Structure formats: structure tokens, C-alpha cells
Amino acid sequence: MSDDFRTKIGLRPVINVSGTMTSLGASIVVPEAIQAMGAILPQFVEINDLQRKASKVIARLTGGEAGFVTASCSAGISLAVAGAITGNNLLAIEKLPDMTPEKNEVIVQMGHVVSYGAPVDQAIRLAGGKVMLIGQATSTHRFHMEDAISDKTAAAVYVVSHHVVDYGLLHLTEFVEIAHAKGVPVIVDAASEYDLRLFLAQGADVALYSGHKFLGGPTSGIVAGKKELVRSAFLQNMGIGRGMKVGKESVYGTMAALEAWEKRDHAGIRERESGYLHLWKETLGERPGITALIEPDPTNNPLERMRVIVSPQEAHITAWDLAAALGRGNPPVIVRDHEVEHHYFYLDPCNLHPGQEKIVAARLTEELDKARASNEIIATPIENRSRHRFDGMLRWPD
């Protein structure tokens, strides 16, 4: 019998080649964080003092003046926006989001209003912010932003993500330049980004990170940046932040993950992941209807993924049906399928335990062999994905 706890409680033992996805548990937590969480869980601490200790670690790694740990990067957006709106006004903090101070408008480029599981703009509205979209989905110009800033502008939010439109929009340095010329602070959502110093170095006033993605910490978010703005965001724990609080174990575990990040063998990890990618490329190299390309990360994180392009006529299966078959099989292999309507998906090697790369290769072979043996092309209507996308959630917990 398997000693995998997942099978014991009736969960599928999934293999994650989708990436650092919250829906799959984000990442493999590093041993240092697990040890830290185990050490603090039986003990009592004064949380605000623990957060002071975390602030020093965050400041050292990010180059910010201060920082704290919250429930998630999404929570960080709400708290940072709320802080920009209320400052240290304790009454305003208690009354959010109903209270509408004069400065409550938040500028966002239209091409940055994406969903990471929930809409970016909702995190702003939860804080009492009035979202001011600028530009169009595929173009934002200086005049769009300059004209949108007024005496009601509390902050400007910039999103760094593979989901955003990656052309025609304002670059962060230009976005910062325009905002700062009119005294508006810039908040950067960098949830899935590898570089902890870049965005503050480029002029952002607050940078937000996930603690449980590339860092390999517990479920958490990190708020870092200028002390006054970070303090105002931290004060929201007496208001809307109460529902976004983290336990002592998440604060201490995130501190440990940050310190482990400083010592991590990043080059060694990249070498191992490159080996996985080349194994898969070799596995798929001669498959009819399959093109395997190793591509760099679109937001310049120092990593690569494999794009698997599927020609249904030759492979006898569509990209979306192949992705679904991999996810249904034994063991389930979950791929990054955000763009399958364009006939490809991605394999991300960053969250594999040793040996799983071979299982992924075997599962790819298995499903492609099944498809080739089919007399007909396996091609369910792509519209079914949209029609049935939320069926499981709407049936939950059944």
C-alpha cells in the first residue's frame, strides 16, 4: 500500500508540471521553512514583535525599508492599496471599504486587469479603492496615465505576470516616472517573480511577492518597500486585514524561506530542471504531430519551460484533449493549459520531486500512443472548456 498520505485520505496523487499554481498548493515547501514552522507552532509569541523580526529579513532581501507577512500576495494588494488610501487614520481603517476618503482612486493599465484565480481589480475594490482603468487592453500611452492622475489618486498598481498583455503598455520605469511626478505611490504585484530586489530598485514604492511560490515558503504574501507605506498597510490588520491574517507559523516559515533563498543553489536547480526539459524533448522529438520547444520565462525569471505544440491531424488528438487525458490518468499529470485553444500547452519543471520527470515522460508517451491508435481524431469541442469550466466548483463539496 502506498505511504502517500494523499491516497490514504482519498486525494489524487497529482504530479505538477503546471508551475507554482495556488490551485495545486503552489510549491514544494523547503525543509528550512518546515522546520521553522514545526518549532514555533507549540509556542506563544507576540505577533507584532515577530513581524518586526520579519521586517528586518524582508528589508535585507528586497532592499526595502520595511516589510511584513500577510495571507497572500492578493491580500498584499488589498492591504497596500488600503494603506495608500487611509494612511495611519485609525478611524478610516476601521470603516473601510465603506468610508471613501477624497483620495481613493487607483490607476491600473487595462492590459494588467487579469485574473490569478480572482480579478486584480477586485483586490483593489475590497480595500475601498475606485479602479481607474487607463489605456486599452493592448496599448497604454503616457497621456492616458498623465490625464488620469488627479487630486483623488491614492496609488497606481502595476502587475508583473505572464497573464498580462506583454506589448504596447507602459514599462514599470515609465509608469513610476509619471506617477512620482505627481506624488502618486506605485504598488507592484510581483507575486510569481524570482527577483526580490528589481522592482523596488526600479522605483516602486511597494513590491508584493508570494511567499509560497518560488520562495518555497508556507502560504503567505510579502509586502515590502517604503517604511511609511508599509506601516500604513500593516495597520490594516486592525481593519480589513483581520480576515487576511497569518499565523505565527506562516510568518516564521516565510522568514526561514527567505533566508534559505539566500543560500539556495540556484544554478544547480536550473541545471536539474534543464535536464528534465531535455528528457521530455527527447521523449517527444519523433512523435508525429508534436513539436517540443524549450522557451524562456516571459517575465524574465531565470527559468525555462517546454511548449508542447499539438497538430491534431498527425497526433490524432487536440492539445486540450491531451492535457485533459494527462490530468485524468494514473498518476494525474497537470500541465499549464492556459493557452490550449492555440494548440499548445506548457510543461513546467520547477515543482517536481526526483524521479517524477520520468513519470511525466512515460505518461506523455502513454497518452500519445493511445491517441495514435485511435481510428478517429480525439477532438472534443473547445467550447466545452468554457461551458463546463466551473461545474466542479458549482457542485462543491459534492
Taking the C-alpha atoms of residue 331 and residue 7, their distance in angstroms, rounded to an integer, is: 11
For residues 157 and 216, membership in a common domain is answered with: yes
Q: Which residues contact 184 (CB under 8 A, 6 or more apart)?
A: 107, 149, 153, 154, 155, 156
pLDDT at 393: 84
Per-residue pLDDT of the chain (398 residues; tens, 9 = 90+): 467 888 889 889 999 998 888 888 888 999 999 999 999 999 999 999 999 999 999 999 999 999 999 999 999 999 999 999 999 999 999 999 987 668 899 999 999 999 888 899 999 999 999 999 999 999 999 999 999 999 999 999 999 988 888 899 999 999 999 999 999 999 999 988 889 999 999 999 999 999 988 899 999 999 999 999 999 999 999 999 999 999 999 999 999 999 999 999 889 999 999 999 999 999 999 899 999 999 998 888 888 999 999 999 999 999 999 999 999 999 999 999 989 999 999 999 999 999 999 999 999 999 999 999 988 999 899 888 888 888 888 888 98
For residues 167 and 185, membership in a common domain is answered with: yes
DSSP assignment string, 42-107: TS---HHHHHHHHHHHHHHHH--SEEEEES-HHHHHHHHHHHHHHTT-HHHHHHTTT---S--EEE
Per the CB < 8 A criterion, the answer to whether 254 and 211 are in contact is yes
For residues 188 and 308, membership in a common domain is answered with: no
370 occurs within a structural domain: yes
For residues 277 and 338, membership in a common domain is answered with: yes
**Which of 230, 263, 296 lies at the terminal end of a domain, its last residue?**
263
For residues 89 and 170, membership in a common domain is answered with: yes
* Cβ-based neighbour number of residue 89 at 10 Å: 14
For residues 274 and 163, membership in a common domain is answered with: no
Q: What is the DSSP letter of 213?
A: S
Q: What is the CATH number of the domain that holds 54?
A: 3.40.640.10
13 occurs within a structural domain: yes
Domain that holds residue 159: 31-263
Name the grid cell of 101: 476618503
398 occurs within a structural domain: no
**pTM for this model (two decimals):** 0.91
**Which of 218, 241, 263 lies at the terminal end of a domain, its last residue?**
263
Q: What is the DSSP letter of 310?
A: E
397 occurs within a structural domain: no
Count of structural domains within the chain: 2
For residues 91 and 174, membership in a common domain is answered with: yes
For residues 224 and 323, membership in a common domain is answered with: no
* Cβ-based neighbour number of residue 248 at 10 Å: 17
**Which of 217, 241, 263 lies at the terminal end of a domain, its last residue?**
263
For residues 86 and 218, membership in a common domain is answered with: yes
For residues 184 and 75, membership in a common domain is answered with: yes
pLDDT at 1: 42
383 occurs within a structural domain: yes
Q: What is the CATH number of the domain that holds 296?
A: 3.90.1150.180
